[in-house]
Structure 1
Amino acid sequence: MSGPGPERDLGRLLAGLEPQLHPGVYVFASGARVPAGVAAVVTVAEAEGWTVVCERGEAERVGLEYVFPCSWITLRVRSALDAVGLTAAVAGVLAREQIACNVVAGFHHDHLFVPQGRGERAVALLEEVAAAGRSA
């Protein structure tokens, strides 16, 4: 692995958020298995079945019933998996604006799924947090 390691300091995490809004509409679907050929962004195995997050068109293509059409935002700061407070801070900022937020931690970055149509506002709020952190 090259470059600096993952960040744990909450102040530096918030200052370096760099939220990236992905194009498209994403959805959450569930089933007994992940359909072959589906280009999933996230999969989670639960006792009740698999959760699949994918583009709405992918879900429709393979016949998955879905809920929560949403926008996908990646926080490009390289967050450590054991960092404390990032999820709470981000969710709190969005909650104050009544923006629901489903967070998924990846190995390198955190990913947010917010209601469709609220992605640009969520990014703007997160950019304000980052700017405030850089000027602190």
Structure 2
Amino acid sequence: MTGESDLRKLLSGMRPQLNPGRYVFVTTQDGIPPGVAPVATVAEEEGLTLVLRQQEADAAGLPYDYVAAWITLRIHSALEAVGLTAAFARELGDAGLSCNVVAGFHHDHLFVPYESAAQAVAVLEDLARRSA
């Protein structure tokens, strides 16, 4: 199941979807705590990074600094595609929005400041329209 690699098709068809909830990034040395179901994990030298719902982090007593909204780009992007991340990161950056990206097998997932979620979706939708 090969994903799309044509940049114009990726940008025009990305259909950003705002997922419900607030998400946080935490790190742990002890693996995934009970009652926590991360949406993403990254093993780093310093510890295991978990991206999870804010209420799960709160319930588990896990500290965090950054509260994010989760946007999924609803196009199956090929992992070897070139330019997609650069294009949307540039647009979001020009709008003054930070963006943390996690690439799944099928889709790219963006974590943006929670309070700026609607603005980020609007920026991405505008980029898609201009790329069509």
In the other structure, the counterpart of 2:35 is 37
C-alpha displacement of 1:95: 0.2
Q: What percent of counterpart residues are identical?
A: 54
TM-score (norm 1): 0.93
Runs of 4+ in 1 over 2 A off after TM superposition: none
TM-score by length of structure 2 reads 0.96
| 2:21 maps to amino acid | G
1:111 equivalent in structure 2: 109
Q: Which residue of 2 aligns with 1:20?
A: 17
Q: Distance in 1 between matches of 2:110 and 2:80?
A: 18
For 1:35 and 1:130, the matched residues in 2 are separated by 39
Report how far residue 11 of structure 1 moved. 0.6
Aligned to 1:59: 57
**Per-residue displacement from partner, 1:29-84 (whole Å, max 9, x unpaired)?**
00112212311011111111000000100101111111210100000110000100
Q: Distance in 2 between matches of 1:34 and 1:62?
A: 10
Unaligned runs of 5+ in 1: none
Distance in 2 separating the partners of 1:78 and 1:88: 17
Give ranges in structure 2 of 5+ residues lacking alignment.
none
Note the alpha carbon deviations across 1:67-123, whole angstroms, 9 max, x for none: 210100000110000100111001000000110000010000000000111111110
- 1:122 aligned partner: 120
What CA deviation, in whole Å up to 9, does each residue of 1:6-48 have, x standing for no partner? 0001111000010000111100000112212311011111111
**CA separation in 1, counterparts of 2:66 and 2:40?**
14
**Number of equivalences:** 131
Report the Cα distance in structure 1 between the residues aligned to 2:105 and 2:128, rounded to whole angstroms. 21
Q: CA RMSD of the aligned region, Å?
A: 0.9
